[in-house]
Structure 1
Amino acid sequence: MTSVNGVPVLHLAGLLGLLMKRLRADMAETTEAAFPDLRVSHLRLLELIPVEGARITDLAEVAGMTKQGLGQHVDYLERHGYVVSERLAEDKRVRLVVRTARGDEAVQVSTTAIARVEGRWRDELGTERFEEFVAIAKTLGLSDAGLTDQPAR
């Protein structure tokens, strides 16, 4: 049997996969010590939840996930104390998800980790190449998602 371990796929999808693997590893240096029960996908979901909370349907749309898949993430986060969810009085089918203080703390740690990774990558690439990389990522990522370049509130 032939092993495929260590054989990178160098087309765009493979390169993006390698980049995400590196991002997760670089972030884990900061986040795992504080929140070993959270993956990068959990941290990203926590970042998407506004202060006033959000409906699962809306979060699923923004995250590009199914309602069921996102609901499983929310259930996990709720069991671990990062969010609370409740059914709306006016429509019991709708769950409103709100971060707890622990969820807010996880977002702060995640934001710090991302800033540290960005600083490391900026140092590695140089400011001009890093800024170009970010601009290209924004152009490609935001155009299809119907998002704006405005920071989350």
Structure 2
Amino acid sequence: MPSFDEMSPTEIRIHRESVLLRLLLRVSQIETEQLAGRLHALGHEAVQPSHIRLLGNVDTEGTRLIVLAERVSTTRQAVSQLVSELERRGYVERTPDPDDGRAALVRHTPVGRRLLNDALREMADIEAGYEKAIGRDGMSTLKHVLRTIADTADPTSTLGP
């Protein structure tokens, strides 16, 4: 491969479009937009694509703000603002952490749990479309490989219960 300094703009663009991070971001953006549209159609009009990333990182039994900030790669203050917005919309609540009285857990409310169930059902349908494109074995392999990469790169990042 020639040096990037020696590549034409077209060659650089072609290379850039084949970089794993770019492909993952592209698919993530596509799926997030599709999911937001589907959730709106199901009556969750308040859900925005920015909410989906955070809501997808809330463990079923609750998650501390600092952990959410780590998972979405942003500051605790930014996550706190987003959680406040989601609280106002009725999707999450903050409750005392039973393991640490100084900390709070972010948990789904009953409305948030319905949203989660709807989102999981819609994501399964979106993934079924991907499976049609790459086959059942391809989808299984894709998930296995991505899980292996994630677990290897950051074994502590797996979601809790």
Q: Which runs of 5+ in 1 are unaligned?
A: 1-6
1:48 match: secondary structure = coil
* C-alpha RMSD of the superposition: 2.8
Matched, 1:11 2:18: yes
After TM superposition, the score normalised by the length of structure 1 is 0.76
Q: Which residue of 2 aligns with 1:30?
A: 38
- Pick from 99, 107, 110 the counterpart of residue 101 of structure 1: 110
**Bigger radius of gyration, 1 or 2?**
2
Aligned residue pairs total: 144
Which runs of 4 or more aligned residues in structure 1 lie more than 6 Å from their structure 2 counterparts after TM superposition?
none
1:110 match: secondary structure = helix
Shift in Å, 1:141: 2.2
Higher relative contact order (CA 8 A, sep 6+): 1
After TM superposition, the score normalised by the length of structure 2 is 0.73
Judged with a 3 Å threshold, the aligned counterparts in structure 2 of structure 1 residues 58 and 18 are, in CA distance, closer, same or farther, namely closer
CA contact (8 A) 1:83 1:100 kept: yes
- C-alpha distance in 2 between matches for 1:25 and 1:55: 26
2:27 match: secondary structure = helix
- Pick from 21, 28, 37 the counterpart of residue 29 of structure 2: 21
Percent identity, aligned pairs only, is 23
